[in-house]
Amino acid sequence: MSESKTLAFFGATGDCAGHCLALALKNEHTCTALARTPSKLTASLTAKGVSPELQTRHLTIIHGDIRDPAIVKQTLTTPAGRTVDVIISGIGPTSFYLHPNPLAPVGIKDSTLVRDASRIILAALPPDVPAKDKPLLINISTTGIPPPGAPRDVPLLYLPLYRWLLHHPHVDKGEMEANLRAVMGKSENERPIIGFVNVKPTLLTSGEGKGWENIRFGQEMKPALGYFVARKDVGEWVFERLVKREIEEGWIGGGVTLAN
């Protein structure tokens, strides 16, 4: 087993972060997770093969909402009273509607959820701690929103889908990514995290997938282009490559694109 770490999860009822949490528990890491409906999270973990006994021993579920700073701070704190080593955020939109703008016909009811969640998480972290004690933030984002100067990171056939149907959710995630880049522009003493990694999968699918070992990955300036990738594979890749191992040079402070 890898060295034991403490991890905080947001949005773990979604399957990308959820599969990462399941592997973390099976590897006996100490985890906290924020959930609006704890029973939904425990049922999801049980379905992923995490026994109730493992959940009881290694998981603390915090009941609440991501927009509550006190609850978020509690989620970021280990049972021993210190800040977690790693934060995994799978926060994303869950409620869509038809928007009257024909150029962006799919709206989201909480159009600033992702960027707001990121700000609240950062604000909840304690200030003035040594760099070695600051957490790493791993954020599940998306392809289709490359940073300025980066090449296209989706197949050409996806451009109409991403720029038309997915315009509103991509604006929110794009703002979140820009905010994180701004945070990394601060000095090591000023920023509340040691760094971040934006995990940017292509179009997500459900089911077993092809296995996390078969995921192709690239960086924002040299992305891995592809059409689909399974949520299960993404979550397990995040655990195996970003939590369990030392992170590759150049990944911190940027994005890693994932595709099959």
Output the pLDDT for position 138: 98
Q: Give the chain's largest Cα–Cα span.
A: 52
6-93+112-142+172-259 is classed CATH 3.30.9.10: no
Cα angle 213-84-255, degrees, rounded to a multiple of 5: 45
**pLDDT given for residue 93 in this prediction:** 76
Residue 1 pLDDT = 45
Give the separation between CA 132 and CA 189, rounded to whole angstroms.
Answer: 11
Mean pLDDT by groups of 10 residues along the chain of 260 residues:
85 96 97 97 97 97 97 94 96 75 73 94 91 94 94 93 81 94 92 96 93 96 96 98 91 95
Q: 36 and 64 in contact (C-beta within 8 Å)?
A: yes
Q: How far apart are CA 159 and CA 58, in angstroms?
A: 42
SS3 228: coil
Q: Which residue has the tokens 């092809």?
A: 210
Tally of CB atoms within 10 A around 29: 23
Say if residues 88 and 7 touch (Cβ distance below 8 Å): yes
pLDDT of residue 103: 67
b/e code 89-98 from CB counts within 10 Å (16+ = b) = bbbbbeeeee
pTM for the predicted model, two decimal places: 0.94
What residues are paired with 33 via a beta bridge?
Answer: 9, 61
Name which of 147, 144, 150, 200 is nearest 169 in CA terms. 144
Residue 158 and residue 165: Cα distance in Å, rounded?
Answer: 10
Residue 165, Cβ density class (10 Å: 0-12 exposed, 13-18 middle, ≥19 buried): middle
Q: How many angstroms separate the CA atoms of 206 and 225, rounded?
A: 19
* Residues written for the chain: 260
Q: Which residues pair with 3 in a beta bridge?
A: none
Check residue 43 and give its pLDDT.
97
Task: Output the pLDDT for position 129.
Answer: 87
Q: What is the pLDDT of residue 80?
A: 87
User: Any idea where the domains of the chain sit in the sequence?
Assistant: 6-93+112-142+172-259
Q: What is the pLDDT of residue 253?
A: 94
d(CA 173, CA 147): 11
